[in-house]
Structures are given as structure tokens and as C-alpha cells.
Amino acid sequence: MAEAGSLADRVKQQADIVRVIGEYVRLKKSGQNFTGLCPFHGEKTPSFAVHPVKQIFHCFGCGKGGDVFTFVMEMEKCSFPEAVRIVAEKCGIAIPRPKERSPEERKENQQRAGLIEMHREVQSFFVKQRETTAEGRAARAYLEDRGLDADTIARFGIGYAPAGGDTLLRYLTPKYPEKLLVESGLVSRDQSGRLFDRFRRRITFPIANESGKIVAFGCRALGDDQPKYLNSPETPIYSKSNVLYHMDRAKEGIRRQDFAILVEGYMDAIAVARAGISNVVASCGTSLAEPQIKLLGRFTKRVIVNYDPDAAGQAATERSISLLLENDFEVKVLALPAIGDKKADPDLFIREKGAEAYIRALKESPPYVDYLIARAKQMDLTSGEGKLRAVNFLLPYVQKIPNRILRSEWATRISQQLRIDEPVLRAALSKAAAERRSEAKTQPELVGKPVKLIERRLIRMLAEAEGFRRELAQRLQQGRLYQGLESEKIFAALIVPALAEGPMSATEIGALLEERDRRVFFEILFEEAQEGSWEEAESCLEALRAKQIEQELAQVQREIESNPTAVAMRELLARKQELLKRRAAG
């Protein structure tokens, strides 16, 4: 355990908590801290703070707090050693290989590593097929026809899976056991038990996970083979609802620009990325899944949805809007105008109109509200029944708007645009809002009695004032000045390390405290405050001493009035005199 401790210490020292948490939460600099929306409870205004110097985080809403490991453990629902490993990995800190806990786990890890290695090799194989075979050259001609130049083909690792039926299988068989080949999904087994290549006569697009490791392939038929698109099945290293195509290369751009463009397929993502817009990802399939949204949400909360304009794309757009709104995203929708008689997807639009026109359209893309109203207007609005259908189409979205003023603006706009009687619509809306309220999450409970300013200042100095925290701790200790205070337990936890003048770890102190006190302590550490001085410390001590005298005087007075024996009375009066003298001296 000592070894693990020292490793954890080393990782913690080298890790940048802002960077690590920044991968999960969008953080903004605010004074000395960074703030963002708490990932542990639902909120609209940020009450989650990260302190870059103290290397701790704290949520003023739900009270969660701790160091970088606490954060990762909560976020990834993992153990402490696992959190240390994750943080080290994120920060590029080399750590000794962890011992696997069980034989099953070791087997699983080996299997995953084997599959990743296999995908890496298969990627080279597909690229080589595209480059060196006659079939591959035909595929290349097709790609060029779609406007993809050699640079792009290389940059996105586009390859070719030959028609043969077992070319890949023969290439892989000497290197991998049959079981792993089948598990990879790259090889299938027919009814007679014979193995064959899953992808034949197809253009291959490698699909990487968020950290850039190839985990699957998306393939497009070269000829008229059906289906037109065929992807890897779910495997131990790939789940399609967890992966966004191009995320590994888009994440920097998304974080920097604070928005993402969401398209349907890899050809669209490639077309947009080629146009110089790096912050694009594809859902690879028509419906966006919750884990994909969570992944995206670690980098931005703003999305422009640019799906295909066909019926399936529209349905997917509307489903995605709902899911994104539920996850507190700000959503815009880009519906590209038709080109001639063709409905335009991003790929076609950029090929025909150019990158600049696309960027312009992107900038002008309307909030989802306008998109939805436009969709509702396409419905038959001549009859009352038709209008009702249009309103029913819009209501579920309105229901998801948390802000009352925005909801009201919607109502006005919908009634104007659809020519619907406003009072009727408002009645429907307020009913929807009431339903929404009943679903609203309950607020996290609040911390009890507030701790007084003097106590807060002393706690802060005790934790941080390198120059005099030892002396401060001695004075507090000698006079028993913190006894009976609201924050007594926090003082008690701080005094020992302050007397020893050892390093002060907020998380370690926090671990000694009950939850309520730990929250108060973290809040104090996060307060924007001037550095304390010894003068200030002395005046705080003086105030505590005065308060102590007052309390004792009150106590003595109560005893005097409770009819004590003559002996006790003499002592009490003497004590009172002494206290009065001390009070006058202070």
C-alpha cells in the first residue's frame, strides 16, 4: 500500500487537475478558480469550482468535492488505483503496469489488446489493398470521382476490402487464433461453419475511439451491392452507441471553439473536415445515442445538427434535438438548401457550392426552435385538426425549455407563425410546463448554519499561511479558543498538521471530517479572499477571546443567580471579577 501511496502522490503532483477535469466539464476561468456546470447534479448555472493551485474541486450545489482522484473515481465509477492509472494516462505520466486482479480480467485485457492490435494491422492491410491492387485502384477512381484527393484518402486512412471473400482471412489466420478472428467481427462464419471476410468489395473507413485507437470499420459498397453501408458489429472493443466518428481528431477543435457540428455519416464528416472545419463528428447511423451525447458533453454543450434532409434525416434530427435538450445542450439546426432537384447533404453541398458557402450556412444556422416551427409550417394548417397536429408536434420540445421567458417567447412565435389563437396555445403550454415542473429534479439540500466570518478567516489562515500557521495553531490550542465554535471540528482537524508544520492536504483533512464539515471546509478554501496577515490573525484571535469571556461571564452570572452555597458564591464572584478585568484589558 505504501508503494501505491507514493505512486499516487507522484501522479497527483504532476497531474494538472484543471486539465483532467476539463476533459469532463467545460471550465471557465473565474478569478483564481475555474468554474463550470457540476457533472454530479443537474444545474443550469455553474456552482462547480476547481482550484488550480490547491488542486481540489468543490461543488457549492451538491457538496461533492475532493482532489483529482476523487473526481475521476466519481466520474468513472472506478476504484482508487484505477483512478490513479486513468489520471496518469491522461497526463502522460509513466506508471508501472498494474497487476490484473483476476484471471478473467487478465484474459479480457489480453483479448482487448489483441483486437486493437488486429485492427491496427487490418487497417494497414486495407490501405495496402487500395494502393497496390487493380481492384484497389478502381476504388480509388471512385473516391476521386467523389472529390476525394490522394491527400484526403491518406489523411483519413481510407482503404479497400477486396472482393475475394477470404483475402483478409488468409492474411490474419497465421497470426491470430480463430476465436479472436470471429470476436473481431471482421470475419464471419457461415452456416456450414466456414469462415469468410465480413467486408468484401468495399471502401473502408477506420473508426477510432476517442483516444485514436482503431476499433471498427465502416464500409461502403463499391458497386451496387447491398447494403450500401456495412459496419463492424458490436465487439469487445466497439459499441456503436459509445463512439462518434472523427471524435479523436475533433475534440481539440470542439473544446477550443466550444461547439460541435454533428453529421450523419463518415463521408459527411470527412467533407466538412476537409473544408477546414475540424470540430465535426458523425453519429454513424441515423440515431444519436445517450452515451454519444455524454461523450460530446465532455467537450462542449453546443451543437449544430446537420443531418441529411431526407425523411430519415429529419426524423433523426428531431430525435437528436430532444435528446440534446434533455442533456442541456444548446442546439442549432442546419438544413441545407436543395441543389437543383437534389436534396443536399454536407458532402454534396460542399462539393457543389464550396467550403465558404458551407461555413456561411453554418454561421447562419437557426436555433432549433425556428427549425421546428418551419417543420410544423409544412404540415397542413388549413383545418383545426391540422393545427392541433402541428401544436402537438411542437409541445414536447416546448416542454423541455426550462426558462419561463423563453417558453413565453415561443408561444408568441408559434401562434404568429402558425396562426393559432394565442390563448388556446398558452393554455396548452402552461399545461405542458406544469408537467415539466412535476418532473423537475429536487434541489440538493443546503449546508446547515453558516460559519462566521472570523472562523472562516482563521480556518483559511490555518490551512494556508505558511509563515505563521504554527504559531496560530499554538495560540488557538493554548486558549482552547475554538471550543464550542460552529466549526470546532474543522479547527481540531487542522491544528495537528499546522503544529507539525507538515504539508497540508485539503483532501486528507477533508477525510477526517464529517460530510457537513468537509463541505464547509472546502467552501472556505474556495472563497475569493486576500492572503491573511499575522495582524489579522491576532485580531481574529482577540475577537474569539472576547467572545469566550462573554460566554463565560454569562455562565458565571447564571450560576450566581441560581442560589449557590456561600463558598461557591465567593468563588463565582472572584471569577466574575477576574473575567471583567480581562474583558477591560482586551
Specify the pairing of strand 56-59 against strand 187-189: unpaired
We find the least distance from the C-beta atom of residue 443 to Zn ion, in angstroms, to be 11
Which listed residue (18, 62, 163, 395) binds Zn ion by CB under 5 A?
A: 62
Q: Cell digits for 349?
A: 453541398
Which listed residue (10, 41, 112, 128) binds Zn ion by CB under 5 A?
41
Residues sharing a CB contact under 8 Å with residue 64, sequence separation 6 or more, in sequence order: 38, 40, 41, 57, 58, 74
Beta-carbon neighbour count of residue 272 at 10 Å?
Answer: 28
For Zn ion, which residue of 38, 186, 215, 280 counts as binding (CB under 5 A)? 38
Q: Write down the least CB distance from residue 440 to Zn ion, Å.
A: 16
Selected from 16, 18, 40, 210, the binder of Zn ion by CB under 5 A is: 40
Among the listed residues 36, 46, 61, 66, the single contact to Zn ion using CB under 5 A:
61
- The span from the CA of 559 to the CA of 561, in Å, is 5
Position 313 contacts Zn ion (CB under 5 A): no
Query: Shortest gap between Cβ of 494 and Zn ion (angstroms)?
Result: 25
Q: Which stretch binds Zn ion (CB under 5 A): 16-24, 39-47, 84-92, 165-173?
A: 39-47
DSSP secondary structure string for all residues of 16-39 = -HHHHHHTTS--EEETTEEEE--S
Q: Is 132 exposed, middle or buried (CB count within 10 Å of its CB: 0-12, 13-18, 19+)?
A: exposed
- Contacts of residue 510, Cβ cutoff 8 Å, sequence gap at least 6: 65, 66, 518, 521, 522
Q: Decide: helix, strand or coil at residue 81.
A: helix
Q: Which of these segments, 61-69, 73-81, 293-301, 517-525, binds Zn ion (CB under 5 A)?
A: 61-69
By beta-carbon proximity to Zn ion, the closer residue of 40 and 393 is 40
Number of Cα atoms under 13 Å in the Cβ half of residue 152: 18
Measured from the CB atom, the residue of 62 and 323 that comes closer to Zn ion is 62
Closest by CA position to 518, among listed 26, 154, 59 = 59
SS3 state of residue 49: strand
φ and ψ at residue 304, rounded to 5 degrees: -110, 115
d(CA 366, CA 370): 6
Q: Which is nearer to Zn ion, 162 or 297 (CB)?
A: 297
Nearer to Zn ion, 41 or 343 (CB): 41
Per-residue interface string for the shown chain with Zn ion, residues 64-103, x marking contact by CB under 5 A:
----------------------------------------
What is the Cα 80 distance to its own chain's centre?
Answer: 20
| Stretch in the footprint of Zn ion (CB under 5 A) among 57-65, 267-275, 294-302, 495-503 | 57-65
Number of residues that bind Zn ion (CB under 5 A): 6
Q: Which is nearer to Zn ion, 185 or 297 (CB)?
A: 297
Nearer to Zn ion, 21 or 465 (CB): 21
| Cis amide bond preceding 227, omega within 30 | yes
Judged by CB under 5 A, which of 27, 37, 59, 186 binds Zn ion?
Answer: 59
Toward Zn ion, which CB reaches closer, 183 or 523?
523
Contacts to Zn ion by CB under 5 A? 38, 40-41, 59, 61-62
